Amino acid sequence: MIFQAAHYNPMAGHMGYKKMLNRIMTRLYWPGIRGDVRRWCTSCPVCLLVNAPAIPRALLRPLPLVEVPFERIGMDLIGPFHRSARGYPFVLVLMDSATRYPEAVPLRNISAKSVAQALFQVISRVGIPKEILTDQGTLFMSHVTERTTGYWALSPFVLACITHRRMGWWSV
């Protein structure tokens, strides 16, 4: 009854071992209180779910420098915006990591087919990159890669889906 009042009460609310212990000890004490409170907190299903240990994440490492233009490009989709006069609410933004040269291709939609076609427009002018960095989902980008490499017989390139933090050098 004491533990339920100190732990499940809406004003108390699963605050963890230290806060629950302090809450109880302001009014009550008995030998072994610390162990009892710790056992209660470690067996609470809500606390176990919320305070689950975090999965360790891999350390961020800087990308190796690229000195050849268009060997590595970054790609991002932005929008929707108000439709342009020609009806384009989206923009595919590409940037070369060696020169920081930007490309922007307007898109009517962001289907894998339209992104692949826009990507091919740029690739046909600047050459096939070895890497394309993007923060888009892997499933969507795998469809883009499949369309790009399949329709135009391009050699496959590495497509790395990474976080905004790693794409800070170019992400819009």
Euclidean distance between CA atoms 25 and 102, whole angstroms: 63
Euclidean distance between CA atoms 39 and 7, whole angstroms: 13
Euclidean distance between CA atoms 85 and 77, whole angstroms: 19
For the cut 60, the answer to whether the pLDDT of residue 172 exceeds it is no
pTM above 0.75, yes or no: no
| pLDDT tens for each residue of 40-58 | 888 888 777 777 677 777 7
If we measure between CA atoms, which residue out of 75, 80, 155 comes closest to residue 115? 75
Q: Are 7 and 44 in contact (CB under 8 A)?
A: yes
Residue type for 147, please? R
| Residue 139 confidence (pLDDT) | 54
Q: Map out the domains of the chain with their CATH numbers.
A: 2-50 (no CATH), 72-161 (3.30.420.10)
In the numeric block, which tokens belong to residue 61?
């490492």
Q: Are 104 and 75 in contact (CB under 8 A)?
A: no
Q: Are 132 and 122 in contact (CB under 8 A)?
A: no
| pLDDT tens for each residue of 97-145 | 899 999 999 999 988 888 888 988 898 898 888 888 877 666 566 777 7
